[in-house]
Amino acid sequence: MSERGSYQPGVPCWVDILVGDPARAMDFYGRLFGWEFDGPGPGGYYEARLRGRPVAGVGAAPEGVAPAWNTYVSVASVDDAAQAAIRAGGRVVAEPFDALPAGRVAVLEDPTGATICLWEPAARRGCQLVNEPSAYAMSALHTREADAAARFYQDVFGWETEPFAPGVTLFRLPGYVGGEPAQPVPRDVVAGMMANGAPGRWSVDFWVHDADALADQVEELGGRALVPPSDAGPLRQAVLGDPFGAPFSVTTAPGH
């Protein structure tokens, strides 16, 4: 399931980062992940490409918005999903608007304070490569209010929860088949949740050939290793920060 042409409603489908200096961000991520960039498109937005396929976005941050990686969930109707979020106890941070020709978007804040984006696809269906080195793999919610978060995402996206490890819960979307056959979690898993006492936020993870090598390289590129590489079961992971302070995690891809 590395190559993807579409995403069903309720599945995270796209990630991007909005910063004050997109050119510097593209230099950093291009050198770290080997991405090339296409653009700018409307609003000065760039698509990162891997093997010629879009894998992420880089754009200019609105004034007052701190740099952070954003996760977008595919929905049939942004407007309907935004209303469902309000009924579920969340709030709409950015009202639905057209980002044509790519699609329609809105930004939500869940009851725990974490922001997540809605994506109603048009020309941009989502990441066309996932679950391979230098591509998006998974998003995770960090929260101190796991029960409230579980209810919210069940009501808005139909996600169900399953305990996985101490403090770790899986979000599953029944009927969805994603991921890779050899992965250590069910293939209907769409995201994770970490009940670690942190303020509510979403994080993104990218598979890489060698998490240790990237942790060594990141300071040369103007970022830093926030959490050094360590073993997480059969995986090797690190948390890195880009030159703007935005955190993201990298995981040595299975088999590498």
Q: In order of start, what are the domains of the chain with their CATH numbers?
A: 12-121 (3.10.180.10), 135-252 (3.10.180.10)
% of the chain beyond a pLDDT of 90: 82
CB 250 within 8 A of CB 206: yes
Q: Tell me the CA distances in angstroms from 229 to 232, 235, 242, one per residue in order.
A: 9, 10, 16
Residue 100 half-sphere exposure toward CB, CA atoms < 13 A: 2
Question: Pairing state of beta strands 91-99 and 103-109?
Answer: antiparallel
Band of residue 76 on the pLDDT scale cut at 50, 70, 90: very high
Band of residue 255 on the pLDDT scale cut at 50, 70, 90: low
Task: Report pLDDT digits (tens) over 184-205.
Answer: 787 899 999 998 877 899 999 9
% of the chain beyond a pLDDT of 70: 98
Task: Report pLDDT digits (tens) over 38-47.
Answer: 988 878 899 9
Q: Report, in this order, helix, strand and coil percent for the chain, each rounded to 5.
A: 20, 45, 40
Specify the pTM.
0.95
Q: What is the predicted pLDDT for the residue at 256?
A: 56
